[in-house]
Amino acid sequence: MNGIMVLVVYAVIMIGATVIFTKRDKDSDSFYVGNRNMGTVSSAMSIAATWIWAPALFTSAEKAYLNGVPGLFWFLVPNIICLLIFIPFAKRIRKEMPNGITLSGYMHEKYRSDKVKQVYLFQLTVLTILSTAVQLLAGGKILSAATGLPLWVMTIALAVIAFSYSQISGIKASVLTDAIQMIFLLVACIIFVPWALDLNGGISSIQLSGISGEFGKLFSESGLEVFLGFGLPTAIGLFAGPFGDQCFWQRAFSIGEKKIGRSFLLGAALFAVVPFSMGILGFIAAGIGFIPKDTGMVNFELIQALFPRWVIVPFMFMLISGLLSTVDSNLCAISSLTTDLKAVSVLESKSKIKISKLSMVLLLIVAVLIANIPGLTVTHMFLFYGTLRATTMLPTMLTLMKIRMTSMGVVAGIITSFVVGLPIFAYGTVLNSGAYKTLGSLLTVLLSGIVGIIVTKAEVRRGKSVR
């Protein structure tokens, strides 16, 4: 019953806040980019909440528990740095395309190529689907354990709640509810971490070397193993994260132009509080010798074991807030991507929004089906779609830096990255091989740029101009 109560209360708060503080949009510009004048603090909280996906809540605790300081470091630090690296590119895309909505639309305008737009649409859409699926999977597992109801029922319930408020006013609903969700997350961290420390003797209960006691130092031999097996492929995927995710480009187009840098900087700082706090719970679990049934849920199980039963209600509320903040951002992202479809671009605002809402429903259906595939884990999905984002990173960065390629170069580079880098990474994930995962990650990032430049030079030699 606790899980059901959390869902009901959560839904009432989010729908109520959206209805009260925003209005149902009939203007597409408002629905997709909030009239391009969103404020610093609300945008920062939205950026932080959107970046707090399932791995930020669970992988951070799991890696701290299993791999100590190196595990948490190689998850937390790249997560922060990637948002900072993104700032100058977010500013530049807004300056170059002040009326833009999507990254794929920007690349289409720069290269005047339907093929470039289509390959970007494919990458951004697949990423949005997988990202949504992993949030539903993580949230569904928790609620299924709490309520005894099947996983598929819980994933559908989460999907329905996210859609119920997102479809009211689009990006404005997402930013508003993200801000509320971020408040819940920060309050929970401030309460639960000191409480867990107090129950277990304070700082002395923290074990920085993981449950095995072998991972105390970042640059030790064991620390290097963590870096090669987890840290490097994770960092590559995370650095590419915002660049291959329409959620962040959409916010770059939605925030007041002079507030973009401050919003992302503050968002990175707010984000850091949550995975760091979850990591401390992982250190505490290691310090007291706690053995979870599922290491991927060690923070959730620790809270269940340490605190009074009623505490699980606000903790689940925090977790669901973190997960659905990404889901509602993905819903807004997929809705904005429909504007790049020729058949949709010529419609009037009201019709565009109807098509966009239909795309939200289709996204959730596919994501629910994926989340219910037997054997899927949050960490494996995180690593895979983190690498998927890297396929478009270099072409995007090079274009924004005015290092231009031909349209064929962009397409050839990204396709090569897909067909070479991703399979190698997937193979390494199945084998749990750090070497293959790292190689796959590097090839995924580098091939799109290297092949793109090689093809561009070959076309230039044949007389093809670079736009």
Supply the pLDDT for residue 335. 95
pTM value > 0.85: yes
- Residue 251 to residue 83: CA distance in whole angstroms: 12
pLDDT bucket at 145, cuts 50 / 70 / 90: confident
Supply the pLDDT for residue 1. 52
The answer to whether the Cα torsion of 297, 298, 303, 304 is positive or negative is: positive
Task: Pick the closest to residue 156 from 371, 430, 380, 408 (CA basis).
Answer: 371
Q: Quick check: 102 pLDDT over 70?
A: yes
CB count in 10 Å sphere of residue 397? 15
Cβ–Cβ under 8 Å, residues 93 and 385: no
Supply the pLDDT for residue 243. 93
- Residue 49 to residue 51: CA distance in whole angstroms: 5
CB count in 10 Å sphere of residue 349? 15
- pLDDT, tens digit (0-9, with 9 covering 90-100), for 153-169: 999 999 999 999 999 98
Rg value, the chain, Cα: 22
Q: What percentage of the chain reaches a pLDDT higher than 90? A: 57
Q: Quick check: 251 pLDDT over 80?
A: yes
Amino acid at 198: D
Supply the pLDDT for residue 120. 96
SS3 255: strand
Within 8 A by CB and 6+ apart from 154, the residues are 3, 139, 140, 141, 143, 144, 147
Task: Pick the closest to residue 18 from 177, 186, 247, 188 (CA basis).
Answer: 177
**Residue 328's beta-bridge partner residues?**
none
Q: Per mean pLDDT, which range of 7-11, 16-20, 145-149, 188-192 is the poorest? A: 145-149
Cβ–Cβ under 8 Å, residues 252 and 94: yes
> Can you read off the two tokens belonging to residue 263?
């919003």
Architecture of domain 2-378: Up-down Bundle (1.20)
Amino acid at 197: L
Environment class of 258 (CB within 10 Å of its CB; exposed 0-12, middle 13-18, buried 19+): exposed
- pLDDT, tens digit (0-9, with 9 covering 90-100), for 276-311: 999 999 999 999 999 998 888 899 899 889 999 888
- Residue 276 to residue 279: CA distance in whole angstroms: 5
**Mean pLDDT, range 111-131, rounded to an integer:** 93
User: Maximum CA pair distance of the chain?
Assistant: 73
Environment class of 305 (CB within 10 Å of its CB; exposed 0-12, middle 13-18, buried 19+): exposed
- Residue 261 to residue 375: CA distance in whole angstroms: 41
Query: At 313, which helix (H) or strand (E)?
Result: helix 312-337
Q: What are phi and psi of 247, to 5 degrees?
A: -55, -40
SS3 424: helix
Supply the pLDDT for residue 143. 85
The answer to whether the Cα torsion of 160, 164, 169, 172 is positive or negative is: negative
Angle at 54 between CA 207 and CA 250, to 5 degrees: 130
> Can you read off the two tokens belonging to residue 7?
């869902």
Q: Quick check: 88 pLDDT over 60?
A: yes
Q: Quick check: 83 pLDDT over 70?
A: yes
Q: Quick check: 380 pLDDT over 80?
A: no
- Residue 454 to residue 441: CA distance in whole angstroms: 20
Q: Which residue has the tokens 């404005």?
A: 172
- pLDDT, tens digit (0-9, with 9 covering 90-100), for 34-44: 889 999 999 99
DSSP state of 261: H
Q: Kindly list the domain boundaries of the chain, sorted by start residue.
A: 2-378
Average per-residue pLDDT in the chain? 89
Q: Quick check: 62 pLDDT over 60?
A: yes
